[in-house]
Amino acid sequence: MLASTVITMQDNSAHGEDSFLSKNLGNGEFLDVVLDGVTGHGGEQASTELREALDAGDLNNAEEIVQLLGEMNEDFFSVGSGRFLLTTVSAVLGRGDKIEVVSAGDSPVFLINKDGHQKLSGNAGGFLHVGVARAIGASEKLGAPAQVEITPSPGDRLFLATDGITDNMTIEELAEVIRNAATPDQAASTIEDTIKERLQEGRVPETIGVRFRYDDRTGIIRFF
């Protein structure tokens, strides 16, 4: 696996229902995860319990992640009947020379480099959310999570985010910030400053809805 540097960012002051995991697996390998618990549906408990299960698991590939998500989905549904214990999850596993992305719900993962940006999974921006319907715990059997495999190159950058970020900055804005930053820390700082300014103004670009949306915000930025 290519050498990389990473930064995590979180403001959980809106609802306290986001979670994240950024785990060093050794030899440059890693597991990065963002989870967005569904507000009013036991989201904090769901995102926390799923994060802990992913952290405890010895996960070697996407299939093992999908299996774990299926097991947790059954547990959550048995307790919450599809109305309680709901969370989105997007996981990026770096093993060997490959990166595997697994997502359930609408928290997006982006690949950003000098040539542009590509959405690897999830949705981003204002009115496209399908996260509740596809969230962990929403149905008795988990529908097939989105899966993508890529081989990273030097200079590639990965960005995982919950909608507290992507509802208030366009992906074009986020990609430009991350592409032009010298370090993940610099990118995270610029994103936070921009969102705080928009919170004070109460406005965002028209393309993502005009009105600022106050929500928990969590992101992981990794530079290769």
* Cβ–Cβ under 8 Å, residues 10 and 212: no
**pLDDT tens digits for range 33-72:** 999 999 999 999 999 999 999 999 999 999 999 999 999 9
| Torsion from C-alpha of 91, 94, 98, 104, nearest 10 degrees | -10
Give me the domains of the chain, ranges plus CATH numbers: 5-223 (3.60.40.10)
How many CB atoms sit inside 10 A of residue 222's CB?
23
Helix (H, G, I), strand (E, B) or coil at 71: helix
| Spatial distance between the Cα atoms of 158 and 153, rounded to a whole number of angstroms | 11
What percent of the chain stands above pLDDT 90?
Answer: 91
Encoded tokens for 208 = 């993502």
Alpha carbons 144 and 31: distance in angstroms, whole number: 20
pLDDT of residue 121: 87
- Give the DSSP H/E element, type plus range, for residue 56: helix 43-56
Under the banding of pLDDT at 50, 70 and 90, the label for residue 134 is confident
pLDDT in tens, 136-164: 999 999 999 999 999 999 999 999 999 99
